[in-house]
């Protein structure tokens, strides 16, 4: 790992960061050929988020050196997790590789690290479960009547903001309906804006939607686009 004179007293440690788990730290090892011999296990729920994470994210490994009371990051390696997902049909499939840590500036080799990763259970059952869940949801929706709900925001009157003059206000309206994303009107520079904004939502009249319409209120919020505080 190093060819300095102090090679025999060189101390190093490796950290591992996966998903939203706590960072795992290996044992502190002395010498140029450390045997970290660190085992860690992560339990996570196989759902859409987990599969998407494995498709596009990395296992982050960092090599650190101990200098007195300081811990100095020497190098970082981002290991793609996609290979685990691609080969997820194979029981106990293992990714075993030799990671080469390089200096960020000179790109010279700093260390080689042997690492292996495996899934204890194949992900095929999770993929099938997600597919069945989506199909079930679709079939449930087909039972209930599909409707289109429209929300029209037409105009405002006497909108003011104490932080600016009345001819400087630029009101914008936003709201959230059910579990849809927020909707926003255009910002119009006027104390009597005419937005004439129409928002359409395709909904299924299932029990959840019916209960929402009967028990919840639609909250419209007006903000001044030109000031940090909201207009009233």
Per mean pLDDT, which range of 56-65, 168-177, 185-194 is the poorest? Answer: 56-65
- Mean residue pLDDT of the chain comes to 79
Identify the band that residue 195 occupies on the pLDDT scale cut at 50, 70 and 90: very high
Contact 169, 159 (CB under 8 A): yes
Q: Are 175 and 169 in contact (CB under 8 A)?
A: no
Provide the pLDDT for residue 5: 46
pLDDT tens digit sequence for 12-38 = 889 988 888 888 888 888 887 788 888
- Euclidean distance between CA atoms 53 and 80, whole angstroms: 10
**7-125 adopts what CATH topology?**
Immunoglobulin-like (2.60.40)
Give residue limits of the domains in the chain: 7-125, 145-224
pLDDT at residue 157 in the model: 92
Q: For 70-129, how does the pLDDT look when each residue is reduced to its tens digit (9 = 90+)?
A: 888 888 888 888 777 666 556 555 666 676 666 666 666 667 777 877 776 666 655 566
Query: According to CATH, what is the number of the domain 145-224?
Result: 2.60.40.150
Q: Confirm whether 7-125 and 145-224 share one CATH topology.
A: yes
């Amino acid at each position: 790992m190093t060819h300095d004179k102090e090679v025999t007293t060189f101390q190093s440690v490796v950290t591992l960061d996966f998903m939203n788990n706590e960072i795992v730290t290996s044992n502190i090892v002395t010498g140029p050929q450390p045997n970290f011999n660190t085992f860690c296990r992560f339990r996570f729920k196989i759902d859409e988020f987990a599969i998407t994470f494995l498709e596009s994210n990395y296992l982050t490994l960092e090599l650190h050196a101990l200098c007195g009371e300081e811990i100095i990051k020497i190098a970082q390696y981002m290991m793609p997790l996609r290979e685990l997902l691609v080969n997820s049909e194979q029981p106990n499939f293992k990714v075993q590789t030799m990671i080469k840590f390089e200096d960020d500036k000179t790109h010279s080799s700093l260390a080689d690290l042997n690492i292996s990763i495996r899934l204890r259970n194949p992900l095929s059952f999770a993929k099938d479960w997600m597919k069945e869940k989506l199909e079930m949801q679709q079939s449930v929706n087909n039972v209930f009547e599909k409707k289109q709900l429209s929300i029209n925001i037409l105009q405002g009157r006497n909108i003011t903001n104490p932080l600016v003059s009345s001819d400087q206000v630029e009101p914008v309206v936003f709201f959230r309906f059910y579990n849809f994303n927020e909707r926003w009107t255009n910002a119009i520079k006027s104390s009597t804006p005419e937005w004439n904004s129409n928002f359409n939502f395709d909904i299924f009249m299932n029990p959840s939607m019916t209960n929402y319409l009967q028990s919840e209120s639609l909250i419209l919020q007006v903000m001044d686009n030109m000031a940090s505080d909201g207009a009233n």
